[in-house]
Structures are given as C-alpha cells and as structure tokens.
Structure 1
Amino acid sequence: MAFFGFIPSDSLLQNVQTSFAQKNTKEALYPLRDEIALQVNEEIIDAILTNVVRHFPHSDKKETAEKLAKFVKSSVAVLLKQLLGKTSNEVVQQSIAFSKSSVFTDPNGQLRMGESLDPRLVTNLKHYFAEILAGNRIDIHAFAENYKVFAEATVNHYMHDFYVTLDLGMIKRKAADIGCAAVIKAVHIAIDKIFPHLTKDELKVLATHHDALFFQ
C-alpha cells in the first residue's frame, strides 16, 4: 500500500483517539466529531502548504501559495460549519470509522493521519523528489500533473468521502459537491501558476518537506 500522511498535533490525535474509545457512549459525540473535522482541515493544509512556503523567499509564488492556503482553509471551514451540527451518535459513528481508516503507523512507528494513494503516484512523486534533491533536472510539467492528481485525491478523501459519512440531505450534498469542485479548481489553477516558476532552491524545499509525507 502507498500512503500520504501528516503528523497530527497532540490535541488532534488525542481527540481522534478519544472518539475511538467513546464511540459507544450515550453522550453526544457530534461536538467532538466537529472539532476533529475542523482541526484536520487546519493541520492538513499546514502540512502540505503553509509549512513549506514559509521557507520560500518573498515572491509572487509565495504570495499565491499563501493565498491558496488561506482560501482552502476558510472555504472548507465555512462549508464544514454549514454541514456539521447536531446529529445522532449512530451517524457520528460513520465519521469515527472514517477517521479510524485515516490513521496509520509509518515505517518508523510514527502515528500519522492521511489516505491511501495509487502506488504509481507515490512512486512517481518519490522519483521526482529524489531527482530534485540530487540536483538533477526534472520535467516540471509532469511533476505538476502528479501534484494535481494528489491534490484531487486528497480533496476527494477529506471532503467528499468524509461528507458521505454525515448522512446529508439533498441540498447539503449539492453544497458539498460544489465546495469540493471549487477547492479542486483553485488548487489546479495555483499549481499551474506556481510550479513552472519554482527555482532550484524552492524545489528542494518542497521535495525535502514532502518526501517525508509519502510512504510505500
């Protein structure tokens, strides 16, 4: 299996583990589920974008990436707040099962949150990271296309697949689908604007940070 996975904060990990332990409680679980969903939104964007671009020198690319991070965080948070809310523990248990499937232990024994990916995608990304870190030239457009595939898979997992667990009505399902499409479009546009103009040093920053997030 191939995975993407970020290291959750102690607070997020504790909340997730608490939800696993209390899934059969009679107390309302939806507040904890909602808090976890909002935390994941913050931390996954930080892991993929914010923690990388803060090491870039000031440039239009850095501003574009920072704006993208803020847009995705705020858009998803607004949507989550529309979709989440009071519901039965029976429904919440579906979300808890989703969270459980998103937690795994990496080869170094570190607990991570993420998603399974097509092994070919991870192989490609790892190859590009190795080439970049070795100082070799890469096909930047092919590299960017792989990132679009990764971004779409991640949005579909953490937005679409998660929203399925919420047992939404038709109107909210439509809002969720529109939200997913908007985020994917924004990410694709940003990748097209940023990747072709990355310097060697910026590519090395990206490769260094992201190589540690993908596993085979």
Structure 2
Amino acid sequence: MEFIFSPQQAAVPIDGSSELFPVHRIYCVGRNYAEHAKEMGDNGREAPFFFMKPADAVLPVAQGSVGVMPYPTMTSDLHHEIELVVALGSGGKNIPAAEAARHIYGYAVGLDMTRRDLQAAAKKLGRPWCTSKGFDQSAPISSIQPINATGLIKQGAIQLSVNGQLRQQGDINQMIWSIAETIEQLSNFYELRPGDLIFTGTPAGVGPVVQGDLLEGSIEGVGELSIRLV
C-alpha cells in the first residue's frame, strides 16, 4: 500500500549535528509557575494542566539566527510565553518520576505564542483553546541541545526581552511541577513517544507583541531563541 500523497514530517534541528529531531506530539503545561498563575487569574496554587499543539506548529530557529514569524490572522492580541522545552528520545506509559530522566533526549528554548483574545473568549464560553494555542507557527523553537551536554535541568535562568526590554524573567527551579514530575503525570494520561516535545510552562510577565517586534529569549545552559514578527 502507498500513501496518496507524501506525508510531511515536522522536525527540529539538533545543535552541533546535521541530524533532525522528528516531532511526534507537542504537549504544553499550563500555569506551571506560581506568579504566572496569579497573573492569569488564580491564586497560584492550582495544579498545572495540559493542552496540546499540532506537531507542525513548530517554527524551528537555529542557534544564532533570527527566525521570522508572520503575525497570525484572527487576533489583535498576540502574547509571548517563553518556555523550557523537553525533547523525549523514548517514552512509555506510567513512567515514575525517578525514571523520567532516562527518557529525555535534550532541551530547547521555546515560545508558546497565544491568541489571547481568542483564549479569553473560549474560556468564557467553556470551549477548547485550539484556535488560541494551536495555530500555524505558534511554537517557535531553538535547536535542541542533547542531554549528554546539559544534564538533568533543575535550575537555570529563563528570560525574554522584546525590542531589548526585559519582559519575562525567572528560574527553572520556580516550576510548580518539576520536569520529572511533569513526565510522570503526562505518561499517566498518554503513552509518550520518541519525538514528543513538552513545553514546560512560562514565568510571569506575558504580554502582547505586534508586527516588527524582536523577541529574544534565553535559558541558562540550553541556548537562545530570537524571532521577529512580520
């Protein structure tokens, strides 16, 4: 049997390699930093929750380059959310937190771009967030840094500037759920697979961006990500 047309495989470059990381699924953790949870309207103690983006929402940007992201249609309130991304090299069901590290291939810097006006409308009506979170190129991502050069990340500065002005700043150790705990919880809901990406949540300071803005993010020990909205 043959496909009726050639399937398209979403992929992310691997830092220092000519190989590519094929993307299976994109999982995102909501409200995983207490201060961000507060700025989004809860008391900062709510357990994080999960949502998804399609695999081909990735917008890969090589280290040292500036990616180009078209300002999406159907919104007048596009927001930035800088995040540590975990790339899985293996998976499974019901993975204990103590065993999570062995499933990690590497890390990247990511942006969970959000049509905030559409998200607010969906929340009010009790509807899904798909159009606010899972639109085309809504997941800019840097080259993946393999874990053998990074180790299991438990802390490290994370920040984002827009046009040179600092907007978001925090530390990985401020996560409500650690990377290992997130993998454990996700694997209870889904069978995780090689190629899965996990966007682990964003610090406080999310806000709007417009056409022409330059977004520059970095995570200590992982890398940098720069995009310009056009």
TM-score range, shorter chain: under 0.3
**TM-score, structure 2 length as denominator?**
0.26
Q: Which has the higher helix share?
A: 1
Which structure has the bigger radius of gyration? 1
Q: Which has the higher strand share?
A: 2
